[in-house]
Amino acid sequence: MIGKCARGIFGLLAVIAGLGITGGAQAQPIVGIPHDWQVNFPPSYTPLMERVASLNDLLLVIITLICIFVLALLLYAMWRFHAARNPTPTTTTHNTVLEVAWTVVPILILVVIAIPSFRLLYYGDKLAEAPVTIKVVGHQWYWSYEYPDQGNFRIESRILSEADRLKQKPNMPRMLAVDEEMVVPVGTNIRIIGTAADSMHGWTVPGFGIKKTVIPGRINEGWINVTKEGYYFGQCSQICGNNHSYMPIAVKAVAKPEFDKWVEQKKASAGLSPATDLASATAPANR
Ligand SMILES: [Cu+2]
């Protein structure tokens, strides 16, 4: 309702801002990016983020009603029991009905909040079936992505210096552009498993509704299913040392055939399969 409306407006602003940024001949539009004066969540690009946003809308309504109710009680008490209007205060100390009510009603409100919260937690937790699994590894201070189902090749993703960004990828946002994006197919269930090589890091992409703390020696799991082709951005969300703010997350979502082509190129360059003519085919538009 209120949240939805606000999201709609901010979503529209994001699209307008996006148009400004992607004015050039970009093969994939930049969709998942923060924008100036952003207040609410970014638009949702996965089923998980849609549910996160709708739980947020529900909570916003509940919180607003509670705030209005408490404020109204407060104003009424100030007016009704002002010393001039109520010179002899009551000596009442207990009221059983009232005490039961103010215990039971908050419990009911918490239950109403807890049910969708737990459903959302379990929804975002694990996938039974995922045709693609990507292993995300946080390093000081870059990300690496492994594709075990696609021949087990690995790519590394590092921030571009400002000079390199202007030279190689001027359309990409400052501080978020990387040399090599994580590539995912759209409309596909993708299992994300995450760990870290040194300190803890946080793999967070707001548009996907995913925020996984990755920890050395442990595997954390989540999933995404990106609905729209384009570039999405996030940042490490766990303080991890000096260059914590210089290890952005960039994801490129492409159609399935384009993803398969990219996989073949990566496998060929990693020597995992005989080089095919795909290896010499046109490089992706962002390279
Ligand atoms: Cu980090």
For the chain (287 residues), the mean pLDDT of every run of 10, in chain order, is 49 44 56 83 92 95 96 96 91 92 96 95 88 95 94 93 93 92 95 95 95 95 94 95 94 95 90 52 43
What pLDDT does 272 receive?
73
Q: Tell me, in angstroms, the distance from the centre of ligand 1 to residue 212's CA.
A: 11
Q: Tell me, in angstroms, the distance from the centre of ligand 1 to residue 223's CA.
A: 20
What pLDDT does 281 receive?
42
What pLDDT does 273 receive?
62
**159 has which bridge partners?**
178
Q: Tell me, in angstroms, the distance from the centre of ligand 1 to residue 138's CA.
A: 6
What pLDDT does 22 receive?
41
Q: Tell me, in angstroms, the distance from the centre of ligand 1 to residue 9's CA.
A: 32
Please provide the DSSP assignment of 42-85 as one string.
PPP-SHHHHHHHHHHHHHHHHHHHHHHHHHHHHHHHHHHT-TTT
Q: Tell me, in angstroms, the distance from the centre of ligand 1 to residue 46's CA.
A: 23
Q: Tell me, in angstroms, the distance from the centre of ligand 1 to residue 96's CA.
A: 54
What pLDDT does 261 receive?
94
Q: Which domains does the chain have, with CATH numbers?
A: 2-123 (1.10.287.90), 132-280 (2.60.40.420)
Q: Tell me, in angstroms, the distance from the centre of ligand 1 to residue 136's CA.
A: 12
The predicted model scores a pTM of 0.77
What pLDDT does 40 receive?
87
